[in-house]
Amino acid sequence: MLTVKEEINFEKSVVLAVASATNEETGHKIKIKSVYEDKEEQEILVEFEETDPDNDCEYELDKNIAVDMVVLSKTDYEINFEKIMKVIQCPNEERDTQKESTESSDIKD
């Protein structure tokens, strides 16, 4: 369940939200990174980052939707969204151990 911790006056403010599609497993994130106002073009640009785990990652099965929101002063400007996709490497101890052993085997005396 999503909870907003502050009271919002919709006469003066607008809520911008981004959400992912329904994910089948944990490990997905979404975050509004920047909000730019272009007064000349009368435009608001919202940049957000969606992070997905690498395909090799093993995460707990748990349907979820990642959500992030910001509150801005009400505006008549056009609002556009730009998504940045990011894939994170899974925390795999076996792979980390293999990587460390490979790195140490490359050291020559």
Q: DSSP characters for 42-65?
A: TEEEEEEEEEEE-TT----EEEE-
Distance CA 67, CA 32 (A): 9
Would you call 105 helix, strand, or coil by DSSP?
helix
The verdict on residue 39 lying in a domain is yes
Number of domains the chain is built from = 1
Whether 7 is covered by a domain: the verdict is no
Can you give the residue range of the structural domain that contains 94? 13-105
Question: Residue 75 falls within a domain, yes or no?
Answer: yes
Mean pLDDT of 39-56: 93
- Is position 84 within any domain? yes
Place of tokens 């707990």: 60
Is residue 4 included in any domain, yes or no?
Answer: no
Going by pLDDT thresholds of 50, 70 and 90, the confidence category of residue 16 is: very high
Task: Residue count of the chain, please give it.
Answer: 109
b/e 41-51 (16+ beta carbons within 10 angstroms → b): eeebbbbbbbb
pTM above the 0.95 mark?
no
Q: Report the C-alpha gap between 12 and 17 in whole angstroms.
A: 17
Residues ≥6 apart with Cβ < 8 Å to 4: 69
Mean pLDDT calculated for residue range 13-19: 94
